[in-house]
Amino acid sequence: MAVEPVPGEPAAVATLPDERALVLADYHAGLEVGLRHEGVELRSDAESRRTAVQTLLDGTAADRLVVLGDFANAIGDPRGEERAELTALLDAVSVPTTVVRGNHDGDIGDVTDGYPDVTVTPGHGVRYGSVGFAHGHTWPSPDVLRADVVCTAHEHPVVRLEDDVGGARVERVWLRGDLNSAPFAAFHDTTIDGGGELIVFPAFNDRTGGTWVNVEGQDFLAPYLPEGVTDGQAYLLDGTRLGDYRRV
């Protein structure tokens, strides 16, 4: 398949024309700074996040890194510890990098402009061959939607799992299903060929909140969900198929 999750990891490998890409979403560099402003004190996990990306790049032999938006955490210009985390990661990455602009990446160019191998795309996404990439806070472009596989993020999808004695835990999940072209075609007022797959990536940063996809009353953040996907299936990071995300 064109996009395959890395077992046990919130990342996937995409087969692109002439190269393999490691794809991850919602890195949220400097998240701890934002939490500190809200009165939550956590030691920065920047080094372990950077190490995880380097380990994944080496382990997958990827030729490119694709970040599906929200590379940064601050809405505006990344500063201080957040900027230092971003530059430290970009300094450590030895392959060309594509950052799909997310809603937290308004001024990400102030960081990436000094890196000639880093490309920042518009928020509506970019397509490489048969794979399209978009963050998900806005509608993907028609060109992205015509890809065989469309990779999106923004939701940080999670499920609440309960045992027989009332215990519960939260797990990050992948959402995968058939792309329903109807709402996209209506929004863009153009024909969108159907038949593709839509994948919603889990957040790479495990300290972010998320959309509870199996809790009644929770709304999706992306403007095209849930209508934009049919037969949506939830998968744990280890590959366990949970089935229809609404019935988990």
Give me the pLDDT at residue 35, please.
65
What is the average pLDDT score of the chain? 91
Residue 31 pLDDT greater than 90, yes or no: no
Domains of the chain listed by start with CATH number: 3-247 (3.60.21)
Q: In three state form, how does the secondary structure of the chain look?
A: CCEEECCCCCEEEEEECCEEEEEECCCCECHHHHHHHCCCCCCCCHHHHHHHHHHHHHHHCCCEEEECCCCECCCCCCCHHHHHHHHHHHHHCCCCEEEECCCCCCCCHHHHCCCCCEEEECCCCEEECCEEECCCCCCCCHHHHCCCEEEECCCCEEEEEECCCCCEEEEEEEEEEEECHHHHHHHHCCCCCCCCEEEECCCCCCCCCCEECCCCCCCCCCCCCCCCEEEEEEEECCCCEEEEHHHC
pLDDT in tens, 231-247: 999 999 999 999 998 88
pTM, 2 dp: 0.94
